[in-house]
């Protein structure tokens, strides 16, 4: 009887021992860290791509006329630009294609200062909503047929902004000619905020 | 009714008939003359410059609004190697109503390394291999979005986005 009891005690002890070991193994596989012990946790980080999302024009029509009484001689639409991203973006003019071929004896000014036979066209940030600029102060002037990288606008996340075309022309430039100015806007992410 | 009265009424009726005929002929011939009006070839449709600035500006605004596009792109696409696909994530949103083509050029060399076919509004390219095999490295590039009229395929204009391409191996 005593032998039988001893045998049962041994079996019980052995089973408890193995169950503890198996429990420990199971704990270890779940990667819990025992108190005072050491362990390794695999931390998987995923870098989400930064998506740049904007709404902007691909074509900017405008009229220029010496008959306007203001310093700015351009009739410009409101050039709306919307940053739909969650990051701030900057808008630059990277290049401006200029064709004055249909105008006789007219040249381009890169600086905004014109002589009698010159035209200068630039961009200006909106100061008052829906109002065309009357002056040429703070205008950024487009350089003809060369790379420029000229910043014209900074937009915070989900912000909308606007620009206007501005310009002037010399007194010998006739009003009835046409010419083409094609700026290429390039948008990029920036750390600078507006 | 006496014979005299009958004669007067008949005469009045004939006069009225003749007058109506003349009136109808006049209307027909004067309409024909309108069709032969000579319009001046030098005339331009629109408002005279400097006359109505608000009206002119409204026309310009309509033209600009028609050229507006929305687009999305990954600013930092990664390619496992020069021939592998990378996560460009280019989108032509459904509200664009324009076809888009994308051309990616390396800034330093102006070399075109990728050119897409037309993307319809409401479509996107998640990952794609570049047309040119790039060595391992980081490249500053510009993705140009060229907009075309959805109905006639006419080129409208273009805009660009600065991106940094990474080729890992």
DSSP-derived secondary structure for chain B: --HHHHHHHHHHHHHHHHHHHHHHHHHHHHHHHHHTPPPPTT--SSPPTTT-HHHHHHHHHHHHHHTEEEEEEESS-EESSTTSEE---EEE-TT--EEEEEEEEETTT--EEEE---B-TTEEE--EE-SSPPPSEEEEEEEEEEEEETTT--EEEEEEEEEEEEE--
Q: Do B73 and A60 touch (CB under 8 A)?
A: no
Task: Encode pLDDT of A61-113 as tens digits.
Answer: 999 888 888 999 999 999 999 999 999 999 999 999 999 988 889 999 999 99
How near does any CA of chain B get to the CA of A40, in Å? Answer: 28
All residues of chain A having their beta carbon less than 8 Å from the beta carbon of residue B89 are 49, 51
ipTM, two decimals, is 0.74
- Which residue among A52, A62, A175 sits closest to B161, beta carbon to beta carbon? A52
Model pLDDT, residue A25:
43
Q: In this model, does residue A37 exceed pLDDT 80? A: no
Model pLDDT, residue A114:
96
All residues of chain A having their beta carbon less than 8 Å from the beta carbon of residue B70 are 53-55, 82, 84
Q: Do B70 and A65 touch (CB under 8 A)?
A: no
Are B158 and B105 a contacting pair, CB within 8 Å? no
Task: Encode pLDDT of A151-162 as tens digits.
Answer: 999 999 999 999
All residues of chain B having their beta carbon less than 8 Å from the beta carbon of residue A68 are 50, 53
How near does any CA of chain B get to the CA of A112, in Å? Answer: 22
Model pLDDT, residue A65:
87
Model pLDDT, residue A155:
97
Task: Encode pLDDT of B73-128 as tens digits.
Answer: 999 999 999 999 999 999 999 999 899 999 999 999 999 999 999 999 999 999 99
């Amino acid at each position: 009887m005593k032998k039988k009891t001893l045998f049962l005690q041994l079996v019980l002890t052995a089973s408890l021992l193995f169950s503890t070991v198996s429990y420990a193994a199971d704990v270890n596989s779940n990667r819990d860290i025992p108190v005072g012990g050491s362990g390794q946790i695999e931390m998987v980080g995923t870098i989400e791509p930064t998506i740049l999302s904007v709404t902007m024009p691909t074509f900017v029509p405008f009229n220029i006329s010496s008959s306007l009484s203001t310093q700015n001689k351009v009739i410009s639409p409101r050039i709306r630009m919307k940053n739909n991203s969650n990051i701030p973006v900057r808008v630059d003019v990277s290049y401006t294609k200029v064709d004055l071929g249909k105008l006789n004896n007219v040249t381009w000014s890169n600086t905004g200062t014109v002589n009698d036979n010159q035209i200068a066209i630039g961009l200006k940030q909106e100061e008052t909503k829906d109002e065309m600029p009357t002056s040429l102060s703070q205008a950024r002037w487009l350089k003809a047929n060369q790379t420029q990288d000229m910043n014209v606008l900074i937009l915070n996340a989900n912000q909308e902004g606007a620009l206007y075309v501005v310009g002037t022309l010399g007194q010998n430039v006739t009003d009835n000619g046409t010419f083409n100015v094609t700026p290429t806007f390039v948008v990029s992410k920036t750390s600078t905020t507006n | 009714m006496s014979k005299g009265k009958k004669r007067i009424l008949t005469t009045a009726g004939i006069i009225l008939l003749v007058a109506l005929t003349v009136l109808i002929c006049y209307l027909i011939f004067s309409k024909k003359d309108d069709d032969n009006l000579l319009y001046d070839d030098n005339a331009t449709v629109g408002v005279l410059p400097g006359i109505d600035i608000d009206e002119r500006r409204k026309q310009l605004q309509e033209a600009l609004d028609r050229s507006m596009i929305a687009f999305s792109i990954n600013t930092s696409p990664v390619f496992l190697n020069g021939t592998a696909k990378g996560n460009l994530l280019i989108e032509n949103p459904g509200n664009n109503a324009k076809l888009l083509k994308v051309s990616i050029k390396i800034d330093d060399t102006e070399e075109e390394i990728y050119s897409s076919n037309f993307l319809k509004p409401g479509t996107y390219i998640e990952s794609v291999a570049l047309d040119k095999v790039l060595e391992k490295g980081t490249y500053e590039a510009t993705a140009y979005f060229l907009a075309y009229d959805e109905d006639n395929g006419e080129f409208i204009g273009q805009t660009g986005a600065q991106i940094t391409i990474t080729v890992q191996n």
